[in-house]
Chains A and B, each alone.
Chain A
Amino acid sequence: MEWETVIGLEIHAQLATKSKIFSGAATAYGAEPNTQACAVDLGLPGTLPVLNKEAVRMAVKFGLAIHAQIDEFSVFARKNYFYPDLPKGYQISQYEKPIVGPGYIDIEVEEAGPIRIGITRAHLEEDAGKSLHEDFHGMSGIDLNRAGTPLLEIVSEPDMRSASQAVAYMKKIHSLVRYLGICDGNMQEGSFRCDANVSVRLKGEEKLGTRTELKNLNSFRFIERAINYEVERQIDLLESGGEVIQETRLYDADKDETRPMRSKEEANDYRYFPDPDLLPVQVSRELVDEVRETLPELPDARKKRFMEEFNLSAYDAGLLTADRELADYFEIAVNTANGESKLTANWINVELNASLNRENKTLSESPVSAEQLGELILRIKDNTISGKIAKQVFASLWEGKGSSADEIIEKEGLKQMSDSGELEKLVNEVLQANPAQVEQYRAGKTKVLGFFVGQIMKQTGGKANPGQVNQLLKSKLDQ
Chain B
Amino acid sequence: MSLDKKDVEAIARLARIEIKPEQIDETASQLSSILEFVEQMNTIDTSAIEPVAHPLDLTARLREDAVTEPNQRELFQSIAPAVENGLYLVPKVIE
Q: Is the CB of A278 within 8 A of B60?
A: yes
Q: Is the CB of A276 within 8 A of B54?
A: yes
| List of B residues within 8 angstroms of A138 by Cβ | 92
Query: Closest A-chain residue to B88, C-beta based?
Result: A142
Given A17-B65, A53-B65, A276-B54: A35 touches B86 (CB 8 Å cut-off): yes
A151-166 contacts to B, CB under 8 A, are: none
Provide the B1-35 mask, 1 if CB < 8 A to any CB of A, else 0.
00000000000001010000000000000000000
B44 → A minimal CB distance (Å): 19
A97 to B52: give the CA distance in the assembly, Å. Answer: 12
| B68 at interface, CB cutoff 8 A | yes
Please tell me which stretch of A18-26, A293-301, A347-355, A445-453 contacts chain B, meaning at least 4 of its Cβ atoms lie within 8 angstroms of it. A18-26
Query: Closest A-chain residue to B62, C-beta based?
Result: A53
Q: Is the CB of B63 within 8 A of A50?
A: yes
Provide the A56-84 mask, 1 if CB < 8 A to any CB of B, else 0.
10000000000000000101000000111
Q: Is the CB of A140 within 8 A of B67?
A: no
Q: Is the CB of A274 within 8 A of B54?
A: yes
Please tell me which stretch of A102-110, A129-137, A399-407, A416-424 contacts chain B, meaning at least 4 of its Cβ atoms lie within 8 angstroms of it. A129-137
A313 → B minimal CB distance (Å): 41
Query: Closest B-chain residue to A284, C-beta based?
Result: B59
Q: Is the CB of B53 within 8 A of A282?
A: no
| List of B residues within 8 angstroms of A38 by Cβ | 69, 72
Q: Is the CB of B89 within 8 A of A140?
A: yes
Q: Is the CB of B65 within 8 A of A18?
A: yes
| A177 at interface, CB cutoff 8 A | no
| List of A residues within 8 angstroms of B59 by Cβ | 73, 279-282
Q: Is the CB of A136 within 8 A of B72?
A: no
| List of B residues within 8 angstroms of A237 by Cβ | none
Q: Is the CB of B66 within 8 A of A133?
A: no
A97 to B51: give the CA distance in the assembly, Å. Answer: 11
Given A24-B66, A279-B56, A280-B53: A136 touches B76 (CB 8 Å cut-off): no
Q: How many chain-A residues does the 8 Å CB contact rule pick out?
A: 55
Query: Closest B-chain residue to A274, C-beta based?
Result: B53
A456 to B62: give the CA distance in the assembly, Å. Answer: 73
Q: Which of B14, B62, B72, B92 contacts A52 (CB 8 A)?
A: B62
A107-143 contacts to B, CB under 8 A, are: 131-133, 136-143
Query: Closest B-chain residue to A282, C-beta based?
Result: B59
Given A53-B63, A279-B59: A269 touches B14 (CB 8 Å cut-off): yes
| B58 at interface, CB cutoff 8 A | yes
Q: Which of A139, A141, A281, A282 contacts B85 (CB 8 A)?
A: A141
| A288 at interface, CB cutoff 8 A | no
Given A24-B67, A32-B86, A279-B56: A139 touches B94 (CB 8 Å cut-off): no
| B45 at interface, CB cutoff 8 A | no
| List of A residues within 8 angstroms of B60 by Cβ | 51, 278-282
A142 to B84: give the CA distance in the assembly, Å. Answer: 10
Q: Is the CB of A141 within 8 A of B67?
A: no
Q: Is the CB of B16 within 8 A of A82?
A: yes
A269 to B13: give the CA distance in the assembly, Å. Answer: 11
Q: Which of B64, B73, B93 contacts A83 (CB 8 A)?
A: B93
Q: Is the CB of A261 within 8 A of B95?
A: yes
A18 to B64: give the CA distance in the assembly, Å. Answer: 10
| A36 at interface, CB cutoff 8 A | yes
Query: Closest A-chain residue to B75, C-beta based?
Result: A39
A381 to B85: give the CA distance in the assembly, Å. Answer: 60
B69 → A minimal CB distance (Å): 4
Q: Is the CB of B67 within 8 A of A19?
A: yes
Q: Is the CB of A34 within 8 A of B86?
A: yes
Q: Which of A50, A261, A274, A279 has the most CB of B within 10 A?
A: A279
| List of B residues within 8 angstroms of A82 by Cβ | 16
B66 → A minimal CB distance (Å): 6
A56 to B62: give the CA distance in the assembly, Å. Answer: 9
Q: Is the CB of B53 within 8 A of A97?
A: yes
| List of A residues within 8 angstroms of B62 by Cβ | 50-53, 56, 281
Q: Is the CB of A53 within 8 A of B76?
A: no
A140 to B83: give the CA distance in the assembly, Å. Answer: 10
A40 to B76: give the CA distance in the assembly, Å. Answer: 11
| A144 at interface, CB cutoff 8 A | yes
Q: Which of A51, A137, A140 has the most CB of B within 10 A?
A: A140
A82 to B89: give the CA distance in the assembly, Å. Answer: 16
| A319 at interface, CB cutoff 8 A | no
Q: Is the CB of A33 within 8 A of B86?
A: yes
Q: A84-B90, A139-B82 are in contact. List 4 more A-B contacts (CB 8 A).
A: A56-B62, A139-B92, A276-B54, A280-B59
- Pairs of residues from A and B, 6 with the lowest C-beta to C-beta distance, nearest first: A24-B68, A141-B87, A54-B65, A53-B62, A38-B69, A282-B59
Seen from chain A, the residues whose Cβ lies within 8 Å of a Cβ on chain B are: 17-19, 23-26, 32-40, 42, 44, 50-56, 73, 75, 82-84, 96-97, 131-133, 136-144, 261-262, 269, 271, 274, 276, 278-282
Between A and B, 23 residue pairs with Cβ closer than 8 Å are A17-B65, A18-B67, A19-B68, A24-B66, A24-B67, A26-B67, A34-B76, A37-B76, A40-B69, A55-B65, A133-B92, A136-B87, A138-B92, A139-B82, A142-B88, A142-B90, A261-B95, A278-B54, A278-B60, A279-B54, A280-B59, A281-B60, A282-B59
